[in-house]
Structure 1
Amino acid sequence: MSKPHDNSLPRTIPAASLLTPGQLTVVVTGASGNVGAGVLRALARHLPDAAVVGVCRRPPIEGGIYERVRWHAVDLSSPNATAELQPAMRAADVVIHLALAVQPLRDEDYLYRANVLGTRAVLNAMTDAGIKQLVYASSLGIYAPGATEPVSESWPDTGQATSTYSRHKVVVERMLDQFELKHPEVAVARFRPTVVVQREAAWLIRSLYLGPFVPRALLKVLRRRVVPLLPLPAGIGLQFVHADDVGDAVMRLMRLRARGSYNVAADVLDTPDVAALVGARPIEVNPRVVRTVVSILSWARLVALTPGWYDVATNTPLMDTSKARHDLGWAPSKSSTESAMELLNGLADGAVGASAATGSMSNPQSSFRTVAQRVHDTSLLLWSAAALSRALGLRRGGASDALVVAANLAAGTPMALDRVRERRRDPVALLAPVAVAAAVASSLRGGWGAVAATAVLHVLNAFERGRPDS
């Protein structure tokens, strides 16, 4: 069974060797994301007088934790990212680099530009601004598989070869090695968290692991703890950590001007512990069989989880957090069970955060897109109903059908333009224009061809709606 977190360790940072707050300016890249929320809350608690500069692609417009942040909209995948970062870095004391792109899952070129080249841009902008401290969000995914016990920070950090995310994290670790050799005056700390969760992470976790075809009704059933049996990969071990505990660790790293790497995780959940989250009895399944099933479902786009992400979740070693506990006086305030239950409740409730990166649709552009999507979905249903009624001989086509098709095409135009602008080459982007043209042509004639064509549009629409905004 899982062990409660250790409350006997010190929960305050010693006064010696602290970064002197003064009029401190802290730059947080990826401040609108899941980890960023925990860091911003920690900054508000521990350094309420610090000036906080947030860097992300889509700055939030909501208040709350984002209210005191001075935002800079920067796309780290841009070739001009270094120059665009310079105003944000000006006169800063510390950079907390959290920015991470995980979507689109299968666009490795974009992910490399955003995560690897984007980190290089951050380091270059830091150097130009003369900033002497960096706290970087690494990951459990940098550790090589093969351990039988929780590993320390000295375990080989060659990652998971099957995971794009892991490979890119490893490249950045090597980049930081070189940066430290070239700039020994800069204090570089790397924290390596396990899966970071909170209620507001539900949208991201659902997008990354579940996808559009896992209904919330199933998640609600799991929350009710009425599932008797739960198939799980044999020998699974999971660790979670709450975003607020990560924020606390980041504050300690920053204020102590720490150097080196630190594992950040709560206690380990074994197979019975994971099943107990939903009140079930575990059924252990051969991990290779599970991976094969995941690969098939991922290939068919029925789940968002890719084989690479499955490998990171199941093959990555568990982490020993002794160093963070000893050197930083850090201990998680929430156990893995508590954090996982908060996430499960968020998933069942369809929770979102207050930023676009955590699922909010509150900014004007997102609101427009939401209305357009609703019009598109409604008109597509009406289009299908009209095609079916004509095929059954219940009615003839008329002006109302033309209006429904026109409304659908107009509402779908913004999404189509986005696909062109992003130069997407995924199945939806390639098939959608052909499918729309076929549906329009067949609808002019009527019959069962129009029914089939609109059914294809529904399938493509489901995949598109399940693809998170990158």
Structure 2
Amino acid sequence: MDERRRILITGASGNVGAGVLRELLRQEPDADLVGVCRRPPTRGRIYEAVQWCPVDLSAPDATTRLTTAMRGVDVVIHLALAVQPVDDEDYLYRANVVGTQAVLDAMAAAGVRHLVYASSLGIYAPSGSAVPVPETWSTSGQSTSTYSRHKVVVEGLLDAFERDHPDTVISRFRPTVVVQRHAAFEIRALYLGPLIPRAALEVLRRRALPLLPLPDGLALQFVHADDVGDAVVRLMRRQARGSFNIAADALHGAALAGLVGARPVRVDPRWMRSAVVALHRLRVVAVTPGWYDVATRSPVMDTSKARDELGWRPARTSTGAARELIEGLADGATGTSPALGASDGAPSDGRTPAERVHDMSLLLWCVMAATGARRRRRPGLLYGSVVAANLVSGTPAALERVRERRRDPVAVLAPLAVGAAVLTGLRGGWPSAATAAVLGVLGIAERRRTTESVIGEVKP
């Protein structure tokens, strides 16, 4: 029987951390667990057995605080990762690169001889092929992604540390997109943003989306957080050196669209990326071009090494893990830690009833226009009622934009888009669906602008 271990986990309150803690509690029930994060959880069963040490890895005193926390520790599991704010590269570098160096320096000072590090699929260069790549594939990353560039730098730090400390074992696992129900908060913040209405996510859950545009040749792998946790425990127990790909099966176009009941529509990847760039600049979606590139250009990973050397097998398929995430997104699921969206009673978004009616009716307008175009139906009374509700509920905001003499793209284009959507809607068809979609994009951009303004006003 293994002797009692003392294990320190950075980023223990996050998405991957939740899966790792669950597996440690299941497979190592007698271990002493030390959790490191900026905002320790105050509730949640998986966090009760953890001794928490609040440490900000981007802070100048991180090495000192970590050294104290690592006294008597047998293994460090380094999961901590900052992904927000996505456009603050200086902070992300301090937290992820300088923070990792602080972890390594503290390990050397405290005499810890084993590190399990959460690397990433993003470390790999694009392959241009659907053939899965092994751990020996180029680790030059994706130059357009801050996240990828920082992961590449960190792997270089680990290489140097291994050369300088040959008696230290470094186990690196490279997971694909890690999901679970409670990852919904993190995934939504990183890829969707707060303004995509829950009703739209409910459409995904009900598998009622008619069409799903996808970059031609796209293939994605998912992996459940608990399967990642199992891999981490295996790496820890076996003190396995080197890198290991961690992922479930690959989903291609039809299977990806099937997750939401849609028919895939192949789109030129260059056009899709241009759309992401434009929508991000308009603040319609949260995903940056860099994160889009990591999601769509990274190669499919071969997991043979983890299966053969660790005996690891994912208990959940990519489809099962992704469906759990979709359920969480539709439910607005959060975990019990701040990193997973736990709230301490923060105020709501502050929208008025008219604004809520406007957002809901706009969503219905877009969905009904697209559905009617696909089925080649002329608009009916229900469609007209939805359009009327949207126009009435949106009038106060439109008048306010006029009063403020706004000249931003939304203020200028919104009246034209409304007129075009109403006129084309009289006859239906794909022109109606297209103009309604443009109106929807402008509506999301306006809501995001309003939300960011409110947040700016309440910041200390």
The correspondence for 1:208, drawn from 190, 193, 213, is: 190
Find out whether 1:193 has 2:175 as its counterpart: yes
Deviations 1:24-64 (A, max 9, x none): 10000000000000000000000000000000000000031
Distance of 2:225 and 2:23 partners within structure 1: 10
Q: Which residue of structure 2 aligns with residue 171 of structure 1? A: 153
Give the paired residue count.
376
Deviations 1:169-198 (A, max 9, x none): 000000000000111111100000000000
The correspondence for 2:6, drawn from 19, 25, 49, is: 25
Instruction: Tell me the amino acid that sits aligned with residue 102 of structure 1.
Output: V
Instruction: Tell me the amino acid that sits aligned with residue 42 of structure 1.
Output: E
Distance of 1:163 and 1:459 partners within structure 2: 23
Q: Which residue of structure 1 aligns with residue 442 of structure 2? A: none
Instruction: Tell me the amino acid that sits aligned with residue 100 of structure 1.
Output: L
Would you say the 8 A contact 2:171–2:241 is kept in 1? Answer: yes
Instruction: Tell me the amino acid that sits aligned with residue 325 of structure 1.
Output: R
Would you say the 8 A contact 1:157–1:170 is kept in 2? Answer: yes
Instruction: Tell me the amino acid that sits aligned with residue 59 of structure 1.
Output: P
| Residues 305/52 of structure 1: CA separation in 2 closer, same or farther (3 Å cut) | same
Q: Which residue of structure 1 aligns with residue 388 of structure 2? A: none
Distance of 2:196 and 2:208 partners within structure 1: 18
Instruction: Tell me the amino acid that sits aligned with residue 257 of structure 1.
Output: Q
Would you say the 8 A contact 2:182–2:340 is kept in 1? Answer: yes
Distance of 2:453 and 2:252 partners within structure 1: 35
3-state SS, counterpart of residue 207 of structure 1 = helix
Shift of 1:318: 0.5
Would you say the 8 A contact 1:207–1:466 is kept in 2? Answer: no
The correspondence for 1:41, drawn from 22, 26, 33, is: 22
Would you say the 8 A contact 1:21–1:50 is kept in 2? Answer: no
Deviations 1:217-245 (A, max 9, x none): 11101211122221111111000000000
Unaligned runs of 5+ in 1: 1-19, 385-445
Distance of 1:55 and 1:323 partners within structure 2: 30
Distance of 2:43 and 2:111 partners within structure 1: 32
The correspondence for 1:330, drawn from 304, 309, 312, is: 312
Deviations 1:234-290 (A, max 9, x none): 111000000000000000000001100000000000000001111111110001000
Q: Which residue of structure 2 aligns with residue 71 of structure 1? A: 52
Find out whether 1:52 has 2:37 as its counterpart: no
Distance of 2:447 and 2:206 partners within structure 1: 31
3-state SS, counterpart of residue 264 of structure 2 = strand
Deviations 1:107-158 (A, max 9, x none): 0000000000000000000110000100000000000012411100000100
Q: Which residue of structure 2 aligns with residue 134 of structure 1? A: 115
Would you say the 8 A contact 1:143–1:157 is kept in 2? Answer: yes
Would you say the 8 A contact 1:194–1:239 is kept in 2? Answer: yes
Shift of 1:87: 2.2
Shift of 1:86: 1.9
Distance of 2:97 and 2:453 partners within structure 1: 27
3-state SS, counterpart of residue 73 of structure 2 = coil
Distance of 1:465 and 1:284 partners within structure 2: 38
3-state SS, counterpart of residue 266 of structure 1 = coil
Provide the TM-score with structure 1 as the length reference: 0.76
Q: Which residue of structure 2 aligns with residue 361 of structure 1? A: 343
Deviations 1:351-404 (A, max 9, x none): 011100010014xxxx3xx14x66xx36xx59x9xxxxxxxxxxxxxxxxxxxx
Instruction: Tell me the amino acid that sits aligned with residue 124 of structure 2.
Output: Y
3-state SS, counterpart of residue 255 of structure 1 = helix
Match runs of 1:70-89 below 5 Å? 70-89=51-70
| Residues 217/75 of structure 1: CA separation in 2 closer, same or farther (3 Å cut) | same
Provide the TM-score with structure 2 as the length reference: 0.78
Find out whether 1:113 has 2:94 as its counterpart: yes
Would you say the 8 A contact 1:139–1:192 is kept in 2? Answer: yes
Instruction: Tell me the amino acid that sits aligned with residue 76 of structure 1.
Output: L
The correspondence for 2:231, drawn from 225, 241, 249, is: 249
Distance of 1:41 and 1:123 partners within structure 2: 25
Deviations 1:64-118 (A, max 9, x none): 1000000000000001110111221111000000000000000000000000000
Q: Which residue of structure 2 aligns with residue 462 of structure 1? A: 451
Instruction: Tell me the amino acid that sits aligned with residue 79 of structure 2.
Output: L
Would you say the 8 A contact 1:301–1:463 is kept in 2? Answer: no
Match runs of 1:282-301 below 5 Å? 282-301=264-283
Q: Which residue of structure 2 aligns with residue 341 of structure 1? A: 323
3-state SS, counterpart of residue 117 of structure 2 = strand
3-state SS, counterpart of residue 317 of structure 1 = coil
Find out whether 1:146 has 2:135 as its counterpart: no
Instruction: Tell me the amino acid that sits aligned with residue 55 of structure 1.
Output: V
Shift of 1:294: 0.2
3-state SS, counterpart of residue 40 of structure 1 = helix
Distance of 1:330 and 1:301 partners within structure 2: 41
Q: Which residue of structure 2 aligns with residue 101 of structure 1? A: 82
Instruction: Tell me the amino acid that sits aligned with residue 172 of structure 1.
Output: V
Instruction: Tell me the amino acid that sits aligned with residue 184 of structure 1.
Output: P
Q: Which residue of structure 1 aligns with residue 375 of structure 2? A: none
Which protein has greater RCO, CA pairs closer than 8 Å, 6+ apart? 1
Instruction: Tell me the amino acid that sits aligned with residue 265 of structure 1.
Output: A
Would you say the 8 A contact 1:212–1:466 is kept in 2? Answer: no
Find out whether 1:237 has 2:226 as its counterpart: no
Would you say the 8 A contact 1:212–1:463 is kept in 2? Answer: no
Find out whether 1:351 has 2:320 as its counterpart: no
Find out whether 1:274 has 2:263 as its counterpart: no
Deviations 1:195-217 (A, max 9, x none): 00000000100000001232111
